[in-house]
Amino acid sequence: MNASTLRLLWTVVEETQTSTLVQFPDAELVQQLLWQLRNKTWLTSEETNTISAYLSSRVPLIRDLALARLA
């Protein structure tokens, strides 16, 4: 995954409603974020798999950031 895709991915996370980030089950959250990212840029299947794995490993961080928005 290149730097611009990574920046765009975290922009998608920031633009996503807090309730979505907190309430969706892990797998559904990853799919939702991937769908939003695919709407902004073209991804190969390899990139999609890499980003999916990256997001899965970052779900706790994403939820922590979302909860911090509520504070």
Angle at CA 60, nearest 5°, toward 64 and 11? 70
Question: How many C-beta atoms lie closer than 10 Å to residue 21's C-beta?
Answer: 21
Question: How many C-beta atoms lie closer than 10 Å to residue 62's C-beta?
Answer: 19
**Residue 4: its pLDDT value, please?**
95
pTM comes to: 0.93
Q: Taking residues 10-25, what's their average pLDDT? A: 96
**Residue 32: its pLDDT value, please?**
97
User: Using alpha carbons only, how large is the chain's radius of gyration in Å?
Assistant: 11
1: pLDDT strictly greater than 90: no
pLDDT range class, residue 19, cuts 50, 70, 90: very high
